[in-house]
Amino acid sequence: MSKKIKILTLSDHPLSPSGVGTQTKYVMEALLKTGKFQVLSLGGAIKHHDYTPKLVDPWNEDWKIIPVDGYGTPEMIRSILRNEKPDILWIMTDPRFYEWLWQIENEIRPLIPIVYYHVWDNFPAPHFNRKFYESNDLIVAISKLTRDIVKEVTPDVALKYIPHAVREDVFFPITSEDRDKLREDLLKQDKDRFVAFWNNRNARRKQSGTLLWWWKEWLDKRDLHQKAQLIMHTEPGDPHGQDLNQIVEQLGLISDRQVLFSTQKVPLEQMGTFYGIADVTINISDAEGFGLATLESLSVGTPIIANMTGGLQEQVVGPEGENGVAIFPASKAIISSQQVPYIYEDRISKESFHAALDKMYYLGEEGRQELGQQGHRHVRTNYSFENFCQQWVDTMLQVHEEHGSWETRKGYNGIVFKEVA
């Protein structure tokens, strides 16, 4: 039996509910199912109560996750290179979190190739990331926008486009009868109430507080306080976000009636139910690399209201037309930090959001179902989970064949620094 190809991953914890964590899990499971790979994951971006490495069922010794703070350290990578001898380093999330990693490129790439699943989300093209992009053997883009950005910044770096995908066995349409029963069982409300769903982290760019404010004003304007409900699947008291409970109280919204916070950590296998009981899923983020929640919603057959930013653009508008209501940004703002000198945020207006809600509400159930069915076809055609998995298997096998590792390493012409005794 030939030796398995060992992948070292740096990303959000693969078993966490974040979009990055979920996609990492999907990619690694696809590789492991072939029997040709082993995976060692540094699970970052979440709080850990136990730092003991864990084996993942049912893969056992073939997939081990090491909990880390942040996304790891240079010393950790050096130790893993020495002791584990991985064949490929696979990384995913914003490149600024890995600045330390690119600084030790000369220690990594002479030994193994680096594959970067890139999530950058907006223009102006980040030319300040050029040195990071050039430190990879292959960049894989999650959206066509990201692909175009990488092409502009580093046209010579090897590049592929593999968009995110969702599991069809989890996110699938339910019947109207099942939806009505679930609404009665879970929400204790009549089937005719208009339900909007929001599934995101409570973070500033996700516009959670603004959504509550604009939702309240829409209810006031249309006199829908008894006929519409917003369900927000998030942590309202997230220390890194806004105090959503305080905002609800300040606005005078009635909890559990006009706004309902869903705070329990729900297994992936149950998330389809949330989208299934909703009439629409909303995403008004100022910036979004992809927006996995909206793709999950479309897969279930629930139409979306989305800001035309980042990867959301490819979801809300497909070959058949709009799979919901597209909101075009009313303005742009440049935000920056020491790590990110500039990036656009695409900001919608309250008026355009209210117009989108009006359109979705007055379409009626039949009109929303037609939009949802169109969105479902769009996902099955353009975001097939089977294709996603096969593309990643083919890609990683090709990387290993073309670039090798350790004694068989090829295709890297960087300068190698050796320790002197």
CA distance 90 to 267: 26
Task: State the CB neighbour count (10 A cutoff) for residue 32.
Answer: 19
Say yes or no to pLDDT of 178 above 60: yes
Q: How many CA atoms lie within 13 A of 117 on its CB side?
A: 28
Residues 6+ apart with CB under 8 A from 305: 196, 280, 281, 282, 283, 284, 324, 325, 327, 353, 356, 357, 360
Q: Counting beta carbons within 10 angstroms of the beta carbon of residue 229, is it exposed (0 to 12), middle (13 to 18) or buried (19 or more)?
A: buried
% of the chain beyond a pLDDT of 90: 59
Whole-number Å distance between alpha carbons of 214 and 9: 40
Residue 419 has pLDDT above 60, yes or no: no
Mean pLDDT of 396-410: 95
> Mean of the per-residue pLDDT values for the chain?
89
The model's pLDDT over 298-319, given as tens digits with 9 standing for 90+, comes to 999 999 999 999 889 989 888 8
Question: Is pLDDT above 70 for 1?
Answer: no
Average pLDDT score over residue span 158-176: 92
Q: Peptide bond preceding 110: is omega within 30 degrees of 0, i.e. cis?
A: no
pLDDT recorded at residue 382: 92
303 neighbors 324 (Cβ within 8 angstroms): yes
Burial 37-54 (b: 16+ CB within 10 A, else e): bbbbbbbbbeeeeeeeee
Closest CA to 234 of 218, 250, 212: 212
Domain 176-382 listed as CATH 2.40.40.20: no
Quick one: pLDDT at residue 341? 76
Contact assessment for residue 129 and residue 153, using Cβ atoms and an 8 Å cutoff: yes
- In three-state secondary structure terms, 203 is coil
- What's the pLDDT score for residue 287? 85
Q: What pLDDT was estimated at residue 121? A: 65
Between 75-79, 193-197, 212-216, 253-257, the lowest mean confidence (pLDDT) is in 253-257
Taking residues 243-261, what's their average pLDDT?
A: 89
Which range (210-214, 267-271, 285-289) has the least confidence?
Answer: 267-271
For 56-67, write each residue's pLDDT tens digit.
999 989 999 998
- Superfamily designation of domain 5-165+384-408: Glycogen Phosphorylase B; (3.40.50.2000)
Tell me the mean pLDDT in the region 89-98.
83
Region 379-398: mean pLDDT is 96
Name the residue with higher pLDDT: 378 or 416. 378
Does residue 417 register a pLDDT over 50?
Answer: no
The pLDDT score that the predictor gives to residue 418 is: 43
Q: What span, in angstroms and rounded, lies between the C-alpha atoms of 302 and 295?
A: 10
**Banded pLDDT at 374 (limits 50, 70, 90):** very high
The pLDDT, as a whole number, for residue 416 is 47
Chain region(s) in the chain for CATH 3.40.50.2000: 5-165+384-408, 176-382
The answer to whether the beta carbons of residues 301 and 373 sit under 8 Å apart is yes
Closest C-alpha among 117, 91, 149, 381 to residue 287: 149
pLDDT at residue 110, rounded to an integer:
95
Place of tokens 């997939």: 63
3-class secondary-structure state, position 317: strand
For residue 324, CA distances in Å to 316, 321, 329, 373, 383 come to 6, 9, 16, 11, 17
Decide if pLDDT at 387 tops 70: yes
Query: What does pTM read for this prediction?
Result: 0.87
- What is the arithmetic mean of pLDDT over 122-130? 84
The dihedral over CA atoms of 323, 328, 333, 338, expressed in degrees to the nearest 10, equals 20
Q: pLDDT (tens digit, 9 = 90+) per residue, 343-368?
A: 888 999 999 999 999 999 999 999 99
pLDDT range class, residue 391, cuts 50, 70, 90: very high
**Quick check: 287 and 278 in contact, CB under 8 A?**
no
